[in-house]
Amino acid sequence: MSRGKRLKKIYIEDYLQGNSILIRDVVSGRVLSLPNNKGAEGMLMVDKCVFYCLNVEDNIPLNSTIIWHNDGEYVTLYECVQQGNDDGGFRKLNGHDVRTKN
């Protein structure tokens, strides 16, 4: 799995509580909690909780997989791209084949 297109940057200081980054959906009360460790990175499956916490206007698809990375100042969200050894000109992007060669 590798990083694809950047989807969103989140300024950590706006969401920092203790040693956690808490991103809330104010309507439903759902909370996404990420560790505040510089250099930390991970993958998230975008379920309804994550979808609403990250706001629907950011076009982060429901049921997709994203990569998050903490650089100490921002948490940046990226598309998750799967690449095989011999992809035949295709790559997996959120579970769909995307043409990479003409």
Residues constituting the chain:
102
Determine how many CB atoms are found less than 10 A away from the CB of residue 41: 14
**pLDDT tens per residue across span 47-84:** 988 998 987 676 788 899 999 999 999 999 999 987 66
**pLDDT tens per residue across span 27-46:** 889 999 999 999 999 999 99
Domain count, the chain: 1
Please name the residue ranges forming H helices in 32-94.
48-53
3-state SS class at 52: helix
pLDDT in the model for residue 26: 86
**Mean pLDDT, the chain, whole residue set:** 83
- 93: domain range? 2-99
Please name the residue ranges forming H helices in 17-94.
48-53
Please indicate, yes or no, whether the overall pTM of this predicted structure exceeds 0.85.
no
Q: Are 44 and 34 in contact (CB under 8 A)?
A: no
